[in-house]
Amino acid sequence: MTLTLQPRLRSPPPPNGADAAWNMVNQLLVLNHEKHHVYFHSVREVLMHNHLAHHALTLFSLGANAENIRSHFENHATYQKDKGTADVFLVYTISDFTTFKRHLGDPNQYHNFLEFFRLQFKNHGYKPAVNKLVFSGDDWSTEIFSRLVTGFIHPLIQAGFGLEFDLPFLVCEGLAMGCTQNDPDVALALLEVEECASRRPDHLSLVDILDLCAANKKLIDCLGNDPFHLMDYQGILSDSTREQVLDYASRYLVLEHEVEMRSAELCNATAYILAGAQRRGKEPRADFFLLHPTNCSVIMDSIVKKDWIGRPGKARLLSWFGRYTIMLYIGMGCPQLDLTHIRNYTPRKGPGGWIDAIERSLNYRDDGHGCKIIRALIHAQNVSCGFDDRPDFRMKKDDFAKAATALVESWLPNDQVQRAGHNTTEAWIRFAGFDQAWDAVPDLLPVQEQN
Q: Can you tell me whether residue 16 is helix, strand or coil?
A: coil
The span from the CA of 24 to the CA of 57, in Å, is 10
Please state the φ and ψ torsions of residue 336, each to the nearest 5 degrees.
-65, 125
Q: What is the pLDDT of residue 451?
A: 47
- DSSP per residue over 258-304, as a string? GHHHHHHHHHHHHHHHHHH---TTB----BTTTHHHHHHHHHHHHHH
316: pLDDT confidence band, cut at 50, 70 and 90?
A: very high
The span from the CA of 347 to the CA of 51, in Å, is 29
| Helices 259-276 and 369-384: angle between axes, nearest 10 degrees | 130
- Looking at the predicted structure, is the pLDDT value of residue 84 above 90? no
Overall average pLDDT of the 260-284 stretch: 98
Q: What is the pLDDT of residue 151?
A: 97
Distance of CA 352 to the CA centre of its chain: 25
The span from the CA of 276 to the CA of 264, in Å, is 18
Overall average pLDDT of the 9-28 stretch: 91
Q: What is the pLDDT of residue 413?
A: 63
Q: Of 14-28, 56-70, 84-98, 421-435, where does the model show the most confidence? A: 56-70
Q: What is the pLDDT of residue 150?
A: 98
- Looking at the predicted structure, is the pLDDT value of residue 52 above 70? yes
Enumerate the β-bridge partners of residue 42. 47
- Looking at the predicted structure, is the pLDDT value of residue 426 above 80? no
Give the chain's radius of gyration (CA, Å).
Answer: 21
- DSSP per residue over 386-418, as a string? GGTT-TT----TTHHHHHHHHHHTTS-TT----
Q: Give pLDDT tens digits for 140-182.
A: 999 999 999 999 999 999 999 999 999 999 999 999 999 999 9
Enumerate the β-bridge partners of residue 43. 46
For 25, 143, 216, 221, 235, the CA distances from 53, given in Å and listed in that order, are 8, 25, 39, 39, 30
The span from the CA of 171 to the CA of 308, in Å, is 15
**Of 162, 166, 189, nearest in space to 177 by CA:** 162
Average pLDDT, the chain: 94
422: pLDDT confidence band, cut at 50, 70 and 90?
A: very low
256 in Cβ contact with 385 (< 8 Å):
no
> Among the listed ranges 74-78, 287-291, 424-428, which one has the minimum average pLDDT value?
424-428
In sequence order, which residues have a C-beta less than 8 Å from that of residue 431 and are 6 or more positions away? Answer: 225, 227, 287, 289, 331, 332, 333, 437
pTM over 0.85: yes
Q: What is the DSSP letter of 209?
A: H
The span from the CA of 155 to the CA of 148, in Å, is 5
Q: What is the DSSP letter of 41?
A: E
Overall average pLDDT of the 417-436 stretch: 76
Cβ atoms < 10 Å from Cβ of 434:
18
Q: How many CA atoms lie within 13 A of 226 on its CB side?
A: 16
- Looking at the predicted structure, is the pLDDT value of residue 20 above 50? yes
3: pLDDT confidence band, cut at 50, 70 and 90?
A: low
In sequence order, which residues have a C-beta less than 8 Å from that of residue 57 and are 6 or more positions away? Answer: 25, 29, 161, 164, 165
The span from the CA of 374 to the CA of 295, in Å, is 8
Q: Give pLDDT tens digits for 175-202.
A: 999 999 999 999 999 999 999 999 999 9
- Looking at the predicted structure, is the pLDDT value of residue 86 above 90? no
- Looking at the predicted structure, is the pLDDT value of residue 125 above 70? yes
| H/E segment holding residue 40 | strand 39-43
Overall average pLDDT of the 326-341 stretch: 98
The span from the CA of 177 to the CA of 147, in Å, is 9
- Looking at the predicted structure, is the pLDDT value of residue 415 above 60? no
Q: Can you tell me whether residue 326 is helix, strand or coil?
A: helix
